[in-house]
A and B are shown apart, each in its own frame.
Chain A
Amino acid sequence: MKIWNFFPREALYECYQCARCTGSCPALEVAPAYGPRETILKCLNLGHEAVVQDEKIWLCCTCNVCEDRCPQKIPISDLLVALRNSAARRGNIPGKLSIAIELLAKTGRSMIVHQLDEMRAHHGLDPLPPAPVEEIRQILKKTKLNEVIDF
């Protein structure tokens, strides 16, 4: 997959590494080693091939704050999405994430909810209605997630 078909590579050349993005990143709170600045620099200096191998790109939650504060208006969230698409196709997808997607495809929910039903019963609530599994599977297939993860 040609990642630069999905992201304007020239935009990266505008980056002068001021690090306002990393300084604004909420992922920094939980994983101090991560930052969009470094991701951009690696794309420029090492090539995106090296970046997509790195599990850190999955820490981005696409909150867009970095993009909002970027003085050069680089669409950083778009970059991360493009990188993760590329990474997923190369099989670099964190185990926990692929389990969640598998679960979503099979049960219609991204987490196991049996315990949740017990809790609901305890509080006098009806069990959760069944998820529209087939519809969700169709949506996931349309996004071509099935090409990356077997479900």
Chain B
Amino acid sequence: MKDKPELAKPVYRDGDLRIGVYVCHCGKNIGGVVRCEEVAEFSKDLPNVVVSRDSLYTCSEPGQEQIKTDIREQKLNRVVVASCTPRLHEPTFRAACEAAGLNPYLLEMANIREHCSWAHLHDKDLATEKAKDLVSMAVHRAALLAPQFELTVPVKRVAMVIGGGVAGIQASLDMADAGYKVYLVERSGSIGGRMAQIDKTFPTMDCSICILAPKMSEVGRHPNIELLTLSEVKEVEGHIGNFRVKVLKKARHVTKECTACGDCTSACPQLAPDEFNAGLSIRRAIYMPFAQAVPSRFLIDMNQCLNNQGIVACDRCFQACSNKCIDFAETDRMLELEVGTIVVATGVDVYDPTALTELGYGRFPNVITTLEFERLINAGGPSGGELIRPSDRKRPEKVAFLQCIGSRSKRSNPYCSNVCCMNTVKDALLIKEHWPETEIYVFYIDIRAFGKGFEDLFQRARREGVTFIRGIPGEIIEDINSGNLKLLGENTLLGTPYRYDMDMVILSVGIRPRSDAGALQRLLNLSTDTDGFYMEAHPKLRPVDTTTGGVFLAGAAEGPKDIKDSVTQASAAASRANILMSKGEVKVPAITARIDTNKCVACGMCARVCPYHAIEGSKDLGYYRVIEAACQGCGACVPECKFEALDQAHFTDAQIVSQLDQALEKDPNSKIICFACNWCSYAGADFAGVSRIQYPANVRIIRTMCSARVSPDWIERALIKGAGAVLVSGCHPADCHYNNANQNTLKRVEKYWKRMEKLGINRDRLRLAWISAAEGAQFAKVIQEMESGIRKLEPKAIEVAAEALTKRKTKKVEGS
């Protein structure tokens, strides 16, 4: 006989089920729409319910105490809380259950706020009926819950920081100082990022590089920090506490012995635009990114060097180098690093205003961007800190700043870029400081001086004679002979048109997510908001966490922010990572797949779809088994099993089917069953609620971890029970939180469509929609569309379809 592992058995049998139901008013958030007393009264008659209460705030201390008391005194062994989304308070109520001695997995939540009261604000009757349905679904599911025991996994006390700007530097130092090893991965040749390019900082007018450089050198010499420049993250595997990261370290072609003497660069014949100076000056093919660069070593840009691809056509730098530290033979290397936590601090790109043709950027030499201006006015910049205009290198006497270029616009970025107003005020003051007679005009829509010391700086600029004019010019016209610029527009406060002649125009450009932010987003399974910035796990309470455990956000990659906010957030992210590493272990949710080895016929289908290679076994062994520490709990394998040998803990077939049956208990023809994945679509539906986007109340949402958990059998059951329509929704392809497990969803739904067509069933009744966590409006739109589809359905057609499916099913059972 083979040695087969035992399956955990449920502790409680049906006879002794004692369920407590708690309906939360959430102040007026739920109570203002749903009649909570009525829902609590209704719940009393549900099977196995022994206690049913409503309370103003269930999550409050007294609310939680009530649950604990009832668990002890009423001997409750299941708890159902009808309140907000489980994505918010499930941990709270689980902790309450655990404190009273109940296994936390015996808690079930009904989402009657985000998915009910907030989404159906104007129909109290419908909302109350829906809340009853949701509670009933939760009670029936609760009856089938089993206690689960979470596995503890060790957390490697090593961190990786991606991005070496000020946020990445701060996060690295904070973790390294706490005693943990840190890999700082930077794409360019030096750390420093955007802050190194800026001349002064607002509102204190500190010299930017002067305050950054000491931190940069600290990173360079810190014993706990391994700095990887010219490096990019290429692959990420694993999970919280145990990530395996492949980093491509590109060849620098200059060895550690480099003393930064600069003899090589004067020998180099190849020229290229200097990226650090925003293209305003030239550098050689062998160059130092900037004077204060860390590591303080030269590097060869192989795209410019004549010795590309192993052909040595020129060795002038090699000849010039007295230390012999130039190595043309160095190759790119792929490093494999094991880390426990990751901080993402990849920063932002600058908006390119070329598309706004009326402003003439790129055509008129004297129209420049703020980043270019920062380099122009910097003592280390191309003009040595002299304010000159590009066309004739003369000092401009009249300078204009144009605000909101590339921000707050449907033609570019819809959001406010947060830093441009104060940056302009600072720049204007800088000019006034050195050349007080310069006339400065700032054309603005609103000046947003919201931070500490910002308003002071703004008022100072006005006192020093900077003219602020409300109204952005519609057009800039260049005088070809002089290079001067004519600005046409309207002063909206005076209501009069203006024409200003300027010597130079500076476009205060906005900031936008890195153009390649998507690559890292997919590697780390992050979400992005509608603007393309990485999304935090909760906008208020988990602002530096991501939905991927062990991955944290710092700096402007999460949203536009200034240096102070970036540093604050970096320290917060480091602190969050430090908590994990200091504890050294973390509990992972007990929602893994389980195989009943008695039923398993070792066909291996499950192992084939597992995105984590977490199922092992063979024909010879006679069964397959799940490696629990590797299983991430997507459930993609379960629908693949034709022998009912597989199930997912806490998301069992029986539990989901019980929810389904309850949802379709009354008036099934008018109902939409929605299977939503935890990370994107369920969160998207939550977001619709939070945004108070209204949609039809006849949708019943059933949560799975991944859309790949959705079994075609559930769809069939819903249609046989007469559900009007079924929606399967998940993350966008390539955004799946389980390594593209949702490609299985697509396959299965497509297969089911074919079956429906074959049986003459209207295939529109089954819909597949990719809805991200930020697409609340999209969720509502899909439900609206499906609702109008249902209205056109004949009850007879639903009946015929159900019959056809039942017949097919019985035939199949008899056949096997």
Q: Cβ of A32 and Cβ of B497 under 8 Å apart?
A: yes
Q: How far is the CA of A30 from the CA of B119 in the complex (A)?
A: 52
On whether the beta carbons of A23 and B496 are closer than 8 Å, the reply is no
Q: Which residue of A lies closest to B358 (CB)?
A: A69
A20–B446 alpha-carbon span in the complex (Å):
14
Mark interface residues in B748-791 (1 if CB within 8 Å of A CB, else 0).
00000000000000000000000000000000000000000000
Within the complex, which residue of A18, A20, A32, A72 is in contact with B410, where a contact is CB–CB below 8 Å? A72
Whether A73 lies near B488 (C-beta < 8 A) is no
Question: Per a CB cutoff under 8 Å, which of A16, A17, A20, A32 touches B474?
Answer: A20
* Residue picked from B412, B446, B492, most chain A C-beta under 10 Å: B492
Q: Do the beta carbons of A69 and B474 come within 8 Å of each other?
A: yes
- Measured in the bound complex, the distance between the Cα atoms of B474 and A69 in whole Å is 8
Most chain-B CB neighbours within 10 Å: which of A19, A24, A35, A37? A19
Complex Cα distance A38/B410, Å? 21
B495 near A71 with CB under 8 A, answer no
Chain A residues with CB under 8 Å of B404's CB are 18, 71
Chain B min CB distance to A41 (Å): 8
- Give A2 Cβ to nearest chain B Cβ, in Å: 24
Q: Is the CB of A23 within 8 A of B475?
A: yes
Does B448 count as interface, using CB distance less than 8 angstroms?
Answer: no
CA distance A70 to B471 in the complex (A): 13
* Cα of A88 to Cα of B61 in the assembled complex, Å: 66
B473 proximal to A (CB < 8 A)? yes
| Candidates A17, A24, A65; contact of B445 at CB < 8 Å | A17
Task: Give per-residue flags for A20-41: 1 if the beta carbon is below 8 A from chain B beta carbons, else 0.
Answer: 1111110010001001011000
CB <8 Å contact, A22 and B409: no
A20 to B495, CA, bound (A): 13
Q: A18-B445, A71-B410, A72-B409 are in contact. Are A32 and B472 (CB under 8 A)?
A: no
Given known pairs A16-B445, A22-B497, A23-B489, the reply for A73 and B474 (CB within 8 Å) is no
CB contacts under 8 Å to B, within A39-57, are none
Residues in B with CB closer than 8 Å to A16 are 408, 445-446
Which A residues are CB-close (under 8 A) to B490? 19, 22-23, 28, 35, 37
Q: How far is the CB of A65 from chain B (nearest CB, A)?
A: 8
Complex CA distance for A66 and B472, rounded to whole angstroms: 13
Say yes or no: B471 contacts A23, CB within 8 Å.
yes
Establish whether residues B497 and A21, one from each chain, have CB atoms under 8 Å apart when the complex forms.
Answer: no
| Distance, CA A83 to CA B38, complexed state (A) | 52
CB-CB < 8 A to B474: which residues of A? 19-25, 65-66, 69
**A28 — nearest CB in chain B belongs to which residue?**
B497
Q: Which chain B residues border A71 with CB–CB below 8 Å?
A: 404, 408-412
Q: A23 to B446, alpha carbons, bound, how many Å?
A: 17
Q: Across the interface, which residues of B come within 8 angstroms of A72, CB to CB? A: 409-410
Contacts of B470 in A (CB 8 A): 19
Compute how far the CA of A72 lies from the CA of B446 in the bound complex, rounded to whole angstroms: 15
Q: Which of B93-135 contact A (CB under 8 A)?
A: none
B471 touches A18 (CB 8 A): yes
> Smallest CB-CB separation from B469: which chain A residue?
A19
CA distance A101 to B12 in the complex (A): 88
Sort chain A's interface into a size bin: 20 to 34
Residues on B with C-beta less than 8 A from A22 are: 471, 474, 489-490, 492, 497
- B487-520 residues at the A interface, CB under 8 angstroms: 488-492, 495-497
Complex CA distance for A35 and B409, rounded to whole angstroms: 20
Q: Which A residues lie within 8 Å of B496 (CB)?
A: 32
- Chain A residues lying within 8 Å of B489, measured Cβ to Cβ, are 19-20, 22-23
| 0 or 1 for each of B387-426: is its CB under 8 Å from A? (1 = yes) | 0000000000000000010001111100000000000000
Q: Which residues of B contact A32 (CB under 8 A)?
A: 496-497
- Minimum Cβ distance to chain A for residue B130 (Å): 29
- Using Cβ atoms and an 8 Å threshold, which residues of chain A touch B475? 23-24, 69
- Helix, strand, loop or mixed for chain B's interface? loop
Interface centre among A16, A17, A37, A66 (most CB of B within 10 A): A17
- Closest Cβ neighbor of A34 among chain B residues: B497
Quick check: B471 and A19 within 8 Å, CB to CB?
A: yes
Q: How far does the Cβ of B507 sit from chain A's closest Cβ, in whole Å? A: 13
* Residues of chain B from 448 to 497 with CB closer than 8 A to chain A in the complex: 470-475, 488-492, 495-497
* Contact call A19/B472, Cβ cutoff below 8 A: yes
CB distance from B338 to the nearest CB of A (A): 48
A71 CA to B406 CA, complexed, in Å: 9
Given contacts A35-B490, A37-B492, contact A23 B410 (CB under 8 A): no
Complex Cα spacing A70 to B497, Å? 17
On chain A, the residues within 8 Å of B411 by CB distance are 70-71, 73
Tell me whether A20 and B497 are in contact (CB under 8 A). Answer: no
Nearest residue in B to A14 (C-beta to C-beta)? B410
Q: Is the CB of B472 within 8 A of A38?
A: no
Indicate the member of A16, A66, A69, A71 with the most B CB atoms within 10 Å: A71
Which residues of chain A are near B471, meaning CB under 8 Å?
18-19, 22-23
B495 adjacent to A38 (CB under 8 Å): yes
Nearest B residue to A74 via CB reads B410
Residues 521 to 535 of chain B near chain A (Cβ within 8 Å): none
Q: Across the interface, name the chain A residue whose C-beta is closest to B489.
A: A23
**Distance in angstroms between the alpha carbons of A71 and B409 in the assembled complex:** 5
Q: Which B185-232 residues have C-beta < 8 A from chain A?
A: none
Contacts of A73 in B (CB 8 A): 410-411
CB distance from B531 to the nearest CB of A (A): 15
A17, closest chain B residue (CB): B492
Contact status A23-B472, CB under 8 Å:
yes
Q: Considering the complex, give the chain B residue whose CB is closest to the CB of A32.
A: B497
How many angstroms from the CA of A66 to the CA of B488 in the assembled complex?
A: 13
Digitize A63-96: 1 where CB-to-B-CB distance is under 8 Å, 0 elsewhere: 0011001111100000000000000000000000
A3 to B471, CA, bound (A): 28
In the complex, are the beta carbons of B497 and A18 less than 8 A apart? no
Q: Give every chain A residue within 8 A of B497 (Cβ-Cβ).
A: 22-23, 28, 32, 35
Closest to A35 in B: B490
Q: Tell which of A14, A23, A32, A38 has the most Cβ of chain B within 10 Å.
A: A23
| Closest chain A residue to B473, Cβ basis | A23
- Known interface pairs A18-B472, A19-B474, A73-B410. Does A24 touch B492 (Cβ–Cβ under 8 Å)? no
Closest chain B residue to A71, Cβ basis: B409
Q: Closest Cβ of chain A: how far from B474's Cβ, in Å? A: 3
CA distance A24 to B359 in the complex (A): 11
Collect the chain A residues with CB atoms within 8 Å of residue B488's CB: 23-24, 28
* Inter-chain contacts of A23 with B (CB < 8 A): 471-475, 488-490, 497
Residues in B whose Cβ lies below 8 Å from that of A25: 474
> How many angstroms from the CA of A38 to the CA of B404 in the assembled complex?
20
A28 CB to closest chain B CB, in angstroms?
A: 5
Min C-beta distance of B407 to chain A, whole Å: 9
**Minimum C-beta distance from B503 to chain A (A):** 20
Q: Which residues of B contact A24 (CB under 8 A)?
A: 358, 474-475, 488
- Give A16 to B446 CA distance when docked, in angstroms: 9
A71 to B490, CA, bound (A): 16
Chain A residues within 8 Å of B408, by CB: 16, 71
What are 22 A-B interface contacts by the 8 Å CB criterion? A14-B410, A17-B445, A18-B404, A18-B471, A19-B472, A19-B474, A19-B491, A22-B492, A22-B497, A23-B471, A23-B474, A24-B475, A28-B490, A32-B497, A35-B490, A38-B495, A65-B474, A69-B358, A69-B474, A71-B404, A72-B409, A73-B411
* Beyond A23-B474, A70-B411, 8 extra complex contacts between A and B, CB < 8 Å: A19-B491, A21-B474, A23-B497, A24-B475, A38-B495, A69-B475, A72-B409, A73-B411
Interface of B with A (CB < 8 Å)? 358, 404, 408-412, 445-446, 470-475, 488-492, 495-497
List A residues at the B interface (Cβ < 8 Å).
Answer: 14, 16-25, 28, 32, 35, 37-38, 65-66, 69-73
| 3 A-B pairs with the lowest CB-CB distances in the bound complex, closest first | A23-B474, A24-B474, A23-B489
